[in-house]
Amino acid sequence: MFSGIPPMTSIVLATAVVLALVAIVVANVKTAEKRIERRIPHRHPLADPQFRREMSVMLGPGIAPDNRIDDLQNGREIFPAMLEAIESAHRTITFETYIYWSGDIGARFSSALSERAGAGVEVKVLLDWVGCMKMDPEQIERMRASGVEVRYFRPLRWYNVGRMNNRTHRKLLVVDGRVGFTGGVGIADQWDGDAGDPEHWRDMHFRADGPVVAQFQAAFNDNWIRTTGTVLDGEGYFPALEPAGEMPAQMFIASPAGGSESMRLMYLMAIAAAVESIDMQAAYFVPDAMIIRALLEARRRGVRIRVTVPGPHIDSEAVRLASRAQWGDLLEAGIEIAEYRPTMMHNKLLVVDGELVSVGSTNFDVRSFELNEEASLNVYSRPFAARMTAVFEADLALARPYTLADWRARPLRERIKEAVVRPLRSQL
């Protein structure tokens, strides 16, 4: 095994290597240290001011007033809006994403970022090392040559092999500290167009103007500091922000580095507060036992719950299997599940009682709750919730209801596959 080394020494070395590999695997599949273990009872509906007070305190940043949030549907609206904002930058651009791949869309963003850096704008780009592996290294070098500071989040190094499974899944773009973008879209050609065929995904992104943009910038700063040790401050990053609308909103983050449970806590608090309706679009719907129990308790209170998930077009069959294995109790309780048909649906949307809307990078699964760096935007606005309910229902019209009879009729081979992948659901 180890040429020229005595047999007993070879055995010891081989054993050490195996143990080290096991330790690395265990460290990477380990979830957050801080865990919510008890249910959150229904005490305060969304209309109760106490609900907002507790959301502000428990999730981190307070709810900022006077914002405007605009939804952008599919790449046809998303990419032009983001590129226009980048091209308008005068002082700073901060950009963090999980997926940035080579292709037409990637080239357009690289060109826009490089042009602004060449014009003297401070451009900071933070890419997840795993999610951006499909990006051409020459594209990175061209951006760097133009003055863009590009950093990778947790590249493979000996000192962080135990954290390789903890990736940044955040999607944040902030221009001049005044305009913010977040949502589910990656910088890749599959998000381009208008979700008109299986090759182009259905997704949403959101533009924010107003005081909440400072929280977007702080969210970017969180991982920039962790990666570079440098704090981004000053008026170019945190200018005084004037009221831009009438929507209260908060941007909050989750990170396994702090044992944070803020994402799971947000969902549990929102579900526990619901008295009328919960509408959810979930690209990856793999809830844990506590979330399932919270949904079932909401149904027992009479809350109508509708969930839209991907249908025949999905980028992970393992996710579909792990998800569907858990649908029995939900369907039996009257929770409505529908599968989106035209293409892969990558939306992340939660609308509760026609008042709270939560969007961002967070998927409805254990990986987002405990392993990934995530960022979500909560908007407390009935007009905005009505708008997003209309979007939800337009997508629902293109989905096929999945019934309890469908679930019970699953073939044996599918059930066997579910049993195989279900123990791995925290890693999907």
Label each residue of 201-215 as H, E or C. CECEEEEEECCCHHH
d(CA 137, CA 210): 36
- The 10s digit of each residue's pLDDT in 6-58 is 555 555 444 444 444 443 443 444 555 455 556 788 888 998 999 999 999 88
30 included as an active-site residue = no
Q: Is the pLDDT of residue 371 over 90?
A: no
pLDDT in tens, 251-279: 999 887 654 578 888 999 999 999 999 99
Give the confidence band of 368 by pLDDT, cuts at 50, 70, 90. Answer: confident
User: How high is the pLDDT of residue 11?
Assistant: 53
Higher-confidence position of 133 and 281: 281
Q: What is the mean pLDDT of residues 392-416?
A: 97
Q: Tell me the pLDDT tens digit for each residue of 153-191.
A: 978 765 555 556 678 899 999 999 999 999 999 999 999
Letter for the amino acid at 174?
V
Q: From the candidates 71, 176, 279, 395, which is the catalytic residue? A: 176
Please say if 169 is a catalytic residue: yes
Selecting among 124, 171, 205, 417, the annotated active-site residue is: 171
Q: Where are the beta strands (DSSP E) in 77-168?
A: 92-97, 122-128, 149-153
Q: Which listed residue (71, 192, 203, 353) is catalytic?
A: 353
* pLDDT digit string, tens, across residues 76-92: 999 999 999 999 999 99
CA trace torsion 60, 65, 68, 72 (10° rounding): 20
Q: Which of 124, 200, 205, 348 is catalytic?
A: 348
Instruction: For the chain, give the mean pLDDT.
Output: 89
- Supply the Cα-derived Rg of the chain in whole angstroms: 22
pLDDT score, position 364: 86
Which of the following is catalytic: 124, 200, 205, 346? 346
Determine whether 205 is an active site residue: no
Closest CA to 129 of 245, 227, 244, 28: 227
Question: Is 353 considered catalytic here?
Answer: yes
Contact yes or no for 192/79 (Cβ under 8 A): yes
User: Mean of the pLDDT values across residues 189-194?
Assistant: 97
Neighbours of 158 (CB within 10 A): 5
Position 422 scores a pLDDT of 78
Q: How far apart are CA 271 and CA 383, in angstroms?
A: 20
The mean pLDDT value for 285-292 works out to 91
Task: Please answer whether residues 46 and 356 qualify as being in contact, where contact means their C-beta atoms are separated by less than 8 angstroms.
Answer: yes
Q: Which of 140-144, 284-288, 382-386 has the lowest mean pLDDT?
A: 284-288
